């Protein structure tokens, strides 16, 4: 018989048991414990576990935060109008959000150790999550970033429990099915190929260093993060320095932190995770001066070279900068956000405005992003 439980710390679940539910994921127990340890401002984390007697058969991370629905509206004029209303009514379109997933992962993680019982385990996960979320004051319930590649039973169960869906930002990845950077370049358009070769000449002006701790550079790292955050169109989480240090200390065999210098000036920080198959570009922090050295593209080709060196077949590249990434040959993987409100009438209303907060995934929008 399945039993759902809510846990306030991931330390209550043995790492091997948690990771077994996800097939030993790249963003596994150690990564989520690092997020918890970092104590991100404005977030409360909890965990949903499903047991069959004493055996863990299902698991998922979850969080609570105050959420501004206006941040997801692409329409500029509508967004401004809503901000004006919020100046008069501070609580307008701001709700206590409880979400299944993590603010620091691209896809929701619903761990199921027995695929033959997926629907039943996910159903128990969701019902347990809803009870725990409501007990903690969550009013808007969400499943964050359900990948189009997720098992079909996930979406079916979510829909059966009355959730609506909005289109989310796609994730992107580059398949490493070539044997050299020259072979990769040959796949790009002639114009892009010429542009990349020109940009990569900036590499000779830069020094690259891999580190296992950022303590010596803490003020500069956070200044780079603030610069990067200010350029972002939208963001859910605001990271702390402890996030970066926790990831590096708790994932010593999977985390890489690469620093880019011009002379003695730190211009960029690239936090990467890897396993035996995938390189995941978690965060790229760059000073505005880094553009003069084409650092985004230099780091991209350094990461492609790292994949080739280690035999990794997949380079996972995030949910932003689509125009550049499409030029560089990535594939896009769609995501959806599932939602419902504790108040049935408001839940119905949110379904009506869902098209306004869905991401614009037209080729023109992504290439101009």
What value does the mean pLDDT take over residues 298-322?
95
Mean pLDDT across the chain: 89
- 279 contacts: CB under 8 Å, gap ≥ 6: 272, 273, 303, 306, 307, 310, 312, 314, 315, 316
Q: Does domain 2-170+334-367 have CATH number 3.30.200.20?
A: no
pLDDT digits (tens, 9 = 90+) for 24-68: 899 999 999 999 999 899 999 999 999 999 999 999 999 999 987
pLDDT at 369 over 60: no
pLDDT at 324 over 50: yes
Range of weakest confidence among 41-45, 83-87, 96-100, 217-221:
83-87
The whole-number pLDDT of residue 232 equals 76
The whole-number pLDDT of residue 362 equals 53
Which of 69-83, 86-100, 222-236 has maximum average pLDDT? 222-236
User: Among candidates 219, 186, 366, 201, which has minimal Cα distance to 293?
Assistant: 201
pLDDT at 81 over 70: no
**In the numeric block, which tokens belong to residue 233?**
């169109």
The whole-number pLDDT of residue 77 equals 47
pLDDT at 282 over 80: yes
What pTM does this model have? 0.90
The whole-number pLDDT of residue 320 equals 81
Cα–Cα distances in angstroms (integers) from residue 23 to residues 83, 111, 250, in the given order? 43, 8, 19
What does the DSSP 8-state code read for residue 236?
S
Q: What is the rounded end-to-end Cα distance, in angstroms, of the chain?
A: 48
Model confidence at 351, pLDDT cuts 50, 70, 90, reads: low
Q: From CA 185, how far away is CA 203, in angstroms rounded?
A: 16
Range of weakest confidence among 92-96, 145-149, 356-360:
356-360
Indicate the helix (H) or strand (E) that contains 182.
helix 181-187
- Tell me if 293 sits within 8 A of 267, measured CB to CB: yes
The whole-number pLDDT of residue 176 equals 98
**In the numeric block, which tokens belong to residue 310?**
């280690």
The better pLDDT of the pair 238, 18 is held by 18
SS3 state of residue 54: coil
Rg of the chain, C-alpha, whole Å: 21
> With pLDDT > 90 as the criterion, what percentage of the chain qualifies?
75
- Tell me if 144 sits within 8 A of 102, measured CB to CB: yes
The whole-number pLDDT of residue 231 equals 82
Record: fold of 173-332: Aminopeptidase (3.40.630)
What value does the mean pLDDT take over residues 148-155?
93
- Tell me if 308 sits within 8 A of 294, measured CB to CB: no
What count of residues does the chain have?
369
- Tell me if 275 sits within 8 A of 26, measured CB to CB: yes
Strand partners, 269: 259, 285
If you search the block for the tokens 């993987």, which residue do you land on? 333
pLDDT at 165 over 80: yes
What does the DSSP 8-state code read for residue 45?
E
The better pLDDT of the pair 68, 86 is held by 68
Domain boundary assignment for the chain? 2-170+334-367, 173-332
Q: Helices then strands (H, E): number in the chain?
A: 13, 15
């Amino acid at each position: 018989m399945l039993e759902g439980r809510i846990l306030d710390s991931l330390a209550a679940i043995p790492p091997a048991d948690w990771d077994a539910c996800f097939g030993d994921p790249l963003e596994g127990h150690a990564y989520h414990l690092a997020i918890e340890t970092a104590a991100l401002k404005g977030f409360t984390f909890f965990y949903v576990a499903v047991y069959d007697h004493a055996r863990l058969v299902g698991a998922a991370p979850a969080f609570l935060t105050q959420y501004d629905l206006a941040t997801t509206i692409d329409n500029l004029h509508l967004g401004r109008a809503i901000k004006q209303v919020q100046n008069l009514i501070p609580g307008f379109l701001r709700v206590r959000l409880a979400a299944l997933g993590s603010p620091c992962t691209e896809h929701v993680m619903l761990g199921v150790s027995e695929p033959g019982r997926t629907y039943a385990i996910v159903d128990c996960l969701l019902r347990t999550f809803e009870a725990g979320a409501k007990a903690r004051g969550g009013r808007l319930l969400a499943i964050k970033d359900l990948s189009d590649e997720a098992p079909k039973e996930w979406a079916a169960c979510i829909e059966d429990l009355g959730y609506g869906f909005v289109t989310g930002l796609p994730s992107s990845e580059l398949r490493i099915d070539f044997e050299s950077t020259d072979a990769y370049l040959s796949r790009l358009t002639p114009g892009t190929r010429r542009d990349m070769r020109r940009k990569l000449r900036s590499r000779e002006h830069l020094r690259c260093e891999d580190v296992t701790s950022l303590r010596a550079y803490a003020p500069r790292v956070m200044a780079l993060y603030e610069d990067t955050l200010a350029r972002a169109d939208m963001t859910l989480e605001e990271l702390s320095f402890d996030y970066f240090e926790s990831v590096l200390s708790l994932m010593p065999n999977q985390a890489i932190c690469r620093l880019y210098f011009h002379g003695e000036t730190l211009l960029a920080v690239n936090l990467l995770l890897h396993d035996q198959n995938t390189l995941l570009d978690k965060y790229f922090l760059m000073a505005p001066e880094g553009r003069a050295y084409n650092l985004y593209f230099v780091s991209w080709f350094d990461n492609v070279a790292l994949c080739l060196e280690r035999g990794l077949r997949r380079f996972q590249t995030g949910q932003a900068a689509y125009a550049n990434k499409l030029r560089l040959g990535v594939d896009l993987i769609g995501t959806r956000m599932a939602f419902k409100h504790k108040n049935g009438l408001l839940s119905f209303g949110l379904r009506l405005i869902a098209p306004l907060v869905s991401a614009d995934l037209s080729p023109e929008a992504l290439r101009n992003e």
